[in-house]
Chain A
Amino acid sequence: MSGRVLVGVKRVIDYAVKIRVKPDNSGVVTDGVKHSMNPFCEIAVEEAVKMKEKKLIKEVVAVSCGPQQAQETIRTALAMGADRGIHVEVTGKDYDMLGPLQVSKIMAALAKKEDAQLIILGKQAIDGDCNQTGQMTAALLDWPQGTFASEVSLEGDTVKVVREIDGGLETIKINTPAVLTADLRLNTPRYATLPNIMKAKKKKIAKVKPADLGLDMTSRLEVLRVDEPPQRLAGVKVETVDDLVAKLKETGRL
C-alpha cells in the first residue's frame, strides 16, 4: 500500500464568532471575520498524524479547496504534522457555491492521482453542517466508508472503525483504500506549537485548479435567501394546569 493519507481541511468562520447575516440576505458576513480550521478537520489531521507517528502510514497530505486564504488552513495542518499540502484553487462564484458534491469530486480525483490509501475527513463542517462530503467521496470512488468514527485502528489492509450511531457504538471492519470521517471523540487535536509553525514554512504546498483535474464545479443548487433564526419570543406564565390547557387550546396547539 502507498502509505499515503489524504486529509481534507476546510477554512470556516471560527466557532466562537457571533454570525451575522448580510443586509441583502444573500449570505453571512465573512469579511474581516475570524476564520480557522473546522474543528472536525482538526481531529482528522490529528488522527492522520498519530498514524504516521505510530509508523502505520508514511505520508500525510493536507488538502483544502478555496481562495488564497485556504493556504492558511493548510499551513496549520502542516504545523500539526502533515508533510505537504495541496491547495485546490476555487474562487469567486465557484467558491460561493462550493458544496459537498464538488469537494467530493475533487477529493476523489486527488485520491486517484496521489494513490491514497486512506482519506480522512471531518464528519461535517460547522458552517454548512452538510455531513455529506465523506459519504459522497466514498461513493464516487466506490470505496468502503467508516463515518462518525470515534476510534480507528489500521490493521494491515483493513481498518477497524468504531462508529457513534444513534443506538450506541457500532464496530465495523472495512478494507483499504477507504474513506473515514472523524467524530468529536476520536481524539484531542494538538496545539500547533510556534516552533512547528516555523518549521512548517519549509513544507511544500502544491497549487492546482479543478480544471487541471478535469472537473466541473457547477452547482445544482441555488441559495435563495439567508435569514437569522427567528427571535425567541417571551413565554407566558400561567397559574394552574387548567389555565395551561385553556391557553394551549386558545393558540390552536391542542
Chain B
Amino acid sequence: MMNVNRFVVLSKSVQIGQRLLAHNAKYAGKEVARVQQRRSIKTHSRNLAYAKDLFLGQVNKAEVFPYPEIGNEELDEINQLVAPVEKFFSEEVDSAKIDREAKIPPETLNGLKELGLFGIMIPEEYGGLGLSNTVYARLAEITSLDGSIAVTLAAHQAIGLKGILIAGNEAQKQKYLPKLASGEHIAAFCLTEPGSGSDAASIQTRATLSEDGKHYLISGSKFWISNGEMADIMTVFARTEVVIDGVKKDKISTFIVERAFGGVTSGKPEDKLGIRGSNTCEVSFDNVPVPVENVIGEIGGGFKVAMNILNSGRFSMGSSSAGMIKKLIEMTAEYATTRKQFNKNLGEFGMIQEKFALMALNVFVMESMAYLTAGMMDRPGLPDCSLEAAMVKVFSSEGGWICVSEALQILGGLGYTKNYPYERYVRDCRILPIFEGTNEILRMYIALTGMQYAGKVLTGKIKEMKKGNIGMALGMIGKKLRTSLGSTVDLGLTGKDGVVHPSLAESAKKFEQNVDFFGSTVESLLYRYGKTIVDEQLILKRVADVLIHLYAMTAVLSRTSRSISIGLRNHDHEVLLANTFCSEAFFKNNYWMIQLQKHSPENNDANIKKIAREVLENRAYVCSHPLERTY
C-alpha cells in the first residue's frame, strides 16, 4: 500500500515534538529528556488546539463551538476599562504629530503609564492589571488607533517582559515585574541580529560564564529592537556552551539584562516608513555582566522560550487590525455618503460599494478569529494555540494592508495627501506582514506543524494495520471508497444535533466539504513528497492558505451561530457577512487544492521556479528589449 519508511524518515528529519510513534514507546523516557531540534522552523507541539485535526479532515467541534463567552461581570469590566482608554486616545493622542516628529511625547507616554496600559497582563500581585488574553485583545482594538503607541506597548509587554511572565521564577518576577507594570521601566525583546532575522536559531551573540561562575558576560549586537533606546530591562537571547551527554554544544539561552549592568549601548533610531513614533534601533552588548540568577528557564532552553513568547503575542493582531479598520470604515463612509460625482453619492457606485463590503468582511473575520483564539487561550489547561495565533496574524496583517489601501483609494487624491490620516495608516500597516515573524515564515510554520501531525497520525495508523489491526484497515478502505463514490460529507456541523445555526447550513456544508477535501489533499501530498515536502514552499504556501481560510470559516460560523442563538443586535447582517465570506473562501480553497493535485494543469509552480532561477542567475530582467533588432 503505502511506503511506510517515508513517514518514519519524515518525522525524524523534521524532528519535532515529544509525542512518539507507538513503536518507539520504549525509548519514550530518553526521547523526552533529549534537548530540542536544530531546525529553525519550530514545529514543536504539546497539546495543540483545534487546527491540527483539520489536516486529517476532521473537525474538533468541541474546541470551537460554542463561541467562547465571557461572564456578564467580565463584560461589564471590559466596557468600564475601554471607556477611559478610548477617551484618552481621542483627546490626548496627536497621531499626526507623533508621526511627523517620529517620537511619542513624554506627556502622552506618561498618560499611558498612568492609565495602567503598561501592565495589562501582569498579575495583580506584581502591580499589574492581571487581565486575560480576551481583555488584552479588546484593549488592542483601541491602542491600534495609533500605530506607534500600539507597537511601543506591544514590544514592552507582549514580548519584552513576556519571558519573565511565562518562564521566569518567583524571584525574577518579584524583582522586575512591579516596575515594568507601572511603566517606570520599559522592556525590550532582543533576539534579531543583522545576520539572523527569520533564521533566529543562527544568532551569534555569546554569553560566556565568568571565572567565578557568578556572571555571564554577554557580547554581541542586536538589530531592529523596538524600545531599544529607552528600555531599562531587556530579554536577551545569546548562545551558551552546554554539555549534553559529554558533548559540548552551543545552545541559546535567555537572559534578563538591565541597562544598569553597564556595557549596553543603543544606536541611533532607525528612520522608518511607518510606526515612526516607535523607537527602533541597534543595541550592542560589550561584555555585559549578567548575574546567573537572571537566566530565564534553563541554560540551553532559550529557543523554546523565544518561540513561546512570540507565539503568545500574535493573536492580538486580529483585534488591533479590526479596530483600526472599523475606524477607517467610519471615516470613509462619512465621505462616500457626502461626496457627489455624476450627480450621485460615491456610495452608490458599485466599485466603491465593493470596497466597503471588503472592509466589513475583513473586520468580521479578523475579530471573529481573534476572539475565538483568545477564548481558547484563556481556557484552563493552557492549550497550545500557536498554530491558530499564527493564522490570525497572517490573515490580519494581509487583510489590514489591503483594507487601508482601499480606504485610501476611496478618498482618491485626498487620501494621498498628508492632510488626511489615510496615508499614515498605509505606512503604519506595511510593517504588519513583516514583524513578529514574517508571513512567509509563519506560513511554513502553519503548514509544516500540521503536516507533521498528520504524518504521525497516518504512520501510527499504518503501524496498527501492519500489526494486524483489521478494524483500522477496514476503516481506511471504507473511507477511501466513500470518498471515491462521491457520498456527501457530514462532519456533524449541521442537521438535528448540529452546532451551526440552520441559517448558516449551506456555508457549513461548504466548510465540511473543504475540510474533507483538505484531509485527503494532505494525505496525498504526504505520500507524494514524504520528507522533501519541507523544501516545497509553493506547496506549503497553499496548504497554509487553505488552513487559514478554514480556520476563518470556523470562527465566522461559530461566532454567527452564537449571535443568532442569543439574538444579538444586527445578527442578520452577520449572517450575510458569514455566508458571503464562506462562499468566497470555499471557491478559493477549492482552487488552491486543485492546484495541489498531482500533475495539475492549474499549477504553474515549475514555470515560476524556472523564471525565478533565470532572473536570479542574470541578476536582472532577462529578456531582450522589445525594440531590439537582429538584422
Query: Interface residues, chain A, CB within 8 Å of chain B?
Result: 16, 32, 36, 72, 75-76, 79, 191-195, 197-198, 201
Check B124–A194 contact: CB distance below 8 A.
Answer: no
Q: Nearest B residue to A36 by beta-carbon distance?
A: B83
What would 12 more interface pairs be, CB under 8 Å, given A191-B88, A193-B115, A195-B116? A191-B84, A191-B87, A191-B114, A192-B83, A192-B84, A193-B114, A194-B116, A194-B120, A194-B129, A195-B129, A197-B84, A198-B124
Shortest CB-to-CB span from B488 to chain A, Å, is 41
Residues of A within 8 A of B419 (CB): none
A193 CA to B83 CA in the complex, in Å? 10
Residues of B within 8 A of A75 (CB): 80
Q: Nearest A residue to B88 by beta-carbon distance?
A: A191
Shortest 5 CB-CB contacts between residues of A and residues of B? A194-B116, A195-B116, A192-B84, A191-B84, A193-B115
Residues of B within 8 A of A191 (CB): 84, 87-88, 111, 114-115
Residues of B within 8 A of A79 (CB): 80, 84
A191 CA to B111 CA in the complex, in Å? 9
A71 CA to B539 CA in the complex, in Å? 56
Shortest CB-to-CB span from A4 to chain B, Å, is 25
Residues of A within 8 A of B85 (CB): 194
Residues of B within 8 A of A201 (CB): 77
Is B117 an interface residue, CB under 8 A from the partner?
yes
A79 CA to B114 CA in the complex, in Å? 13
Is B63 an interface residue, CB under 8 A from the partner?
no
Check A72–B87 contact: CB distance below 8 A.
Answer: no
A16 CA to B83 CA in the complex, in Å? 13
Shortest CB-to-CB span from A227 to chain B, Å, is 23
Residues of A within 8 A of B90 (CB): 16
A126 CA to B254 CA in the complex, in Å? 55
A198 CA to B84 CA in the complex, in Å? 13
Check B76–A72 contact: CB distance below 8 A.
Answer: yes
Check B111–A198 contact: CB distance below 8 A.
Answer: no
Is B338 an interface residue, CB under 8 A from the partner?
no
Q: Nearest A residue to B83 by beta-carbon distance?
A: A36
Check B80–A193 contact: CB distance below 8 A.
Answer: no
Known: A191-B114, A194-B115, A194-B116. A72 touches B88 (CB 8 A): no
A121 CA to B119 CA in the complex, in Å? 35
A36 CA to B83 CA in the complex, in Å? 8
Residues of A within 8 A of B111 (CB): 191
Is B34 an interface residue, CB under 8 A from the partner?
no
Residues of B within 8 A of A192 (CB): 80, 83-84
Is B337 an interface residue, CB under 8 A from the partner?
no
Q: Nearest B residue to A71 by beta-carbon distance?
A: B76
User: Could you name 15 residue pairs across A and B whose Cβ atoms are closer than 8 Å?
Assistant: A16-B90, A32-B569, A36-B83, A75-B80, A79-B80, A191-B84, A191-B88, A192-B84, A193-B114, A194-B85, A194-B116, A194-B120, A195-B116, A195-B129, A197-B80
A208 CA to B153 CA in the complex, in Å? 43
Check A193–B87 contact: CB distance below 8 A.
Answer: no
Is B81 an interface residue, CB under 8 A from the partner?
yes
A194 CA to B83 CA in the complex, in Å? 10
Shortest CB-to-CB span from A163 to chain B, Å, is 27
Check B79–A72 contact: CB distance below 8 A.
Answer: yes
Check A194–B81 contact: CB distance below 8 A.
Answer: yes
Interface 1/0s, chain B 70-100, versus A by CB < 8 A? 0000001101110111011010000000000
Q: Nearest A residue to B570 by beta-carbon distance?
A: A32
A61 CA to B81 CA in the complex, in Å? 21
Shortest CB-to-CB span from A11 to chain B, Å, is 12
Shortest CB-to-CB span from B569 to chain A, Å, is 6
Shortest CB-to-CB span from A240 to chain B, Å, is 31
A191 CA to B114 CA in the complex, in Å? 9
A75 CA to B76 CA in the complex, in Å? 10
Check A198–B129 contact: CB distance below 8 A.
Answer: yes
Residues of A within 8 A of B76 (CB): 72
A16 CA to B77 CA in the complex, in Å? 22
Check B116–A76 contact: CB distance below 8 A.
Answer: no
A36 CA to B115 CA in the complex, in Å? 18
Interface 1/0s, chain B 113-128, versus A by CB < 8 A? 0111100100010000
Residues of A within 8 A of B87 (CB): 191
A201 CA to B124 CA in the complex, in Å? 14
Check A194–B79 contact: CB distance below 8 A.
Answer: no
Q: Nearest A residue to B129 by beta-carbon distance?
A: A194
Residues of A within 8 A of B81 (CB): 194, 197
A75 CA to B79 CA in the complex, in Å? 11
Residues of B within 8 A of A194 (CB): 81, 84-85, 115-117, 120, 129
A16 CA to B87 CA in the complex, in Å? 11
Query: Could you say which of A192, A194, A198, A201 has the most chain B C-beta atoms within 10 Å of its C-beta?
Result: A194
Residues of B within 8 A of A72 (CB): 76, 79-80
* Residues 227 to 252 of chain B near chain A (Cβ within 8 Å): none
From A32, A76, A195, B83 is in contact (CB under 8 Å) with A76
A136 CA to B129 CA in the complex, in Å? 42
A69 CA to B500 CA in the complex, in Å? 33
Shortest CB-to-CB span from B59 to chain A, Å, is 34
Shortest CB-to-CB span from B177 to chain A, Å, is 14
Check A193–B116 contact: CB distance below 8 A.
Answer: yes
Q: Nearest B residue to A191 by beta-carbon distance?
A: B84
Q: Nearest A residue to B117 by beta-carbon distance?
A: A194
Shortest CB-to-CB span from B593 to chain A, Å, is 41
A72 CA to B80 CA in the complex, in Å? 7
A96 CA to B79 CA in the complex, in Å? 24
Q: Nearest B residue to A189 by beta-carbon distance?
A: B87
Interface 1/0s, chain B 545-570, versus A by CB < 8 A? 00000000000000000000000010
Check A193–B79 contact: CB distance below 8 A.
Answer: no
Shortest CB-to-CB span from A29 to chain B, Å, is 12
A198 CA to B85 CA in the complex, in Å? 14
A204 CA to B326 CA in the complex, in Å? 36
Shortest CB-to-CB span from B421 to chain A, Å, is 17
Shortest CB-to-CB span from B464 to chain A, Å, is 53
Q: Nearest A residue to B127 by beta-carbon distance?
A: A195
Residues of B within 8 A of A193 (CB): 84, 114-116
A191 CA to B117 CA in the complex, in Å? 13
A192 CA to B82 CA in the complex, in Å? 10
Residues of A within 8 A of B114 (CB): 191, 193
